[in-house]
Amino acid sequence: MNKLFLLLCVCLTLSVHAQKKLKLELNFKYSKPNCNGAKTTTSMGEKLLAKQRLYVYQDNKCVDSLMTNDSGNVIVKYYPGTYFLFEPWKHFKKTPDNSPISDFFKDCLVKEWAKPNYKVIIGDEDFQMIYYEISLSRCPNQLACLKVRHLPSQIKRK
């Protein structure tokens, strides 16, 4: 009986150890697009993704949301596993620029909504963050799924 109790305690300890949350500091940046046709400069490089909300999914369910600070950072505690982060427009099934859904091909939007912006893989002692793309890294006339491309605001039709 004592051996069975000891074995149960060891299994319980291993189970609790495997379920330990890891405290992470995530830093979010993106590449700002060159939308005006000017020559690319070094100042157009990576920008901080400041004060942005992202929705965290695991196993196709929203499990959390987070908000980056002024420096594009956020501190979270998550269990080991794979997490996918989505911009609000994807989470709420909207358009990237809040224009009417009728301006977009709906079947294409459905595919875009399913594409994560970031992937975070958390191990027992480390993590990896993979950046795919966010809507801020595209020019307004290059948004995916548009039926008619928006013209930049400087150009007006007569």
Which is more confidently placed, 52 or 138? 52
The pLDDT of 114-125, averaged and rounded, is 96
Each as own residue / partner, the long-range contacts of residues 135-139 (CB below 8 Å, 24 or more positions apart, any chain) are 135/87, 135/89, 135/96, 135/97, 136/30, 136/32, 136/47, 136/49, 137/30, 137/31, 137/32, 137/33, 138/33, 138/96, 139/33, 139/34, 139/35
- For the cut 70, the answer to whether the pLDDT of residue 7 exceeds it is no
The pLDDT of 133-143, averaged and rounded, is 83
Give pLDDT, residue 58. 98
Structural domains in the chain, CATH included, are 2-35+43-142 (2.60.40.10)
**Per-residue confidence band for 148, with pLDDT thresholds at 50, 70 and 90:** confident
First and final C-alpha spacing in the chain: 89
Q: What is the pTM of this model?
A: 0.77
User: Using one digit for the tens of pLDDT, what is the confidence trace for 48-57?
Assistant: 999 999 999 9
